[in-house]
């Protein structure tokens, strides 16, 4: 099966987003991590595209504190409710497009674009 041909599960996006943030040594999970996770799951990006990993033994300011930026957390919580509180739910293509647009809007808001 071709990468990205299966519907993406909500839980896969969330866990991959967390893995991307950890891979990059980020203190908080950001909207960019979510978009990178979707691209990885769809096969549009590879781990090499994310740059060099930050070793787990490196100290990271704030690492281990509460997880995600507030905007990301709010979008995820809305979608969790929309998907009937089912982390294993899959996104339809239209839902994924809307989810991605909402996450991308957080980046645009933060950069003033």
Q: How is 16-36 classified by DSSP, letter by letter?
A: HHHHHHHHTT-SSB-HHHHHH
- Tell me: the pLDDT tens digits for 20-57? 999 998 889 999 999 999 999 999 999 999 998 887 66
Place of tokens 């919580």: 77
Better-scored residue on pLDDT, 59 or 7: 7
What is the value of pTM for the model shown?
A: 0.85
- What angle is formed at CA 30 by the lines to CA 103 and CA 6, rounded to 5 degrees? 55
Q: What dihedral angle (degrees, nearest 10) is formed by the CA atoms of 17, 76, 60, 64?
A: -120
């Amino acid at each position: 099966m071709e990468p990205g041909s299966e519907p993406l599960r909500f839980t896969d996006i969330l866990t991959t987003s967390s893995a991307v943030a950890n891979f990059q040594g980020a203190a908080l999970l950001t909207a960019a991590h979510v978009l990178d996770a979707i691209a990885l799951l769809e096969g549009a990006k590879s781990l090499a595209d994310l740059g060099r990993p930050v070793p787990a033994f490196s100290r990271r300011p704030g690492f281990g504190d509460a997880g995600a930026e507030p905007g990301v957390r709010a979008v995820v919580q809305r979608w969790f409710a929309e998907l009937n509180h089912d982390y294993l739910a899959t996104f339809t293509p239209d839902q994924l497009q809307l989810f991605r647009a909402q996450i991308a809007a957080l980046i645009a808001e933060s950069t003033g674009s």
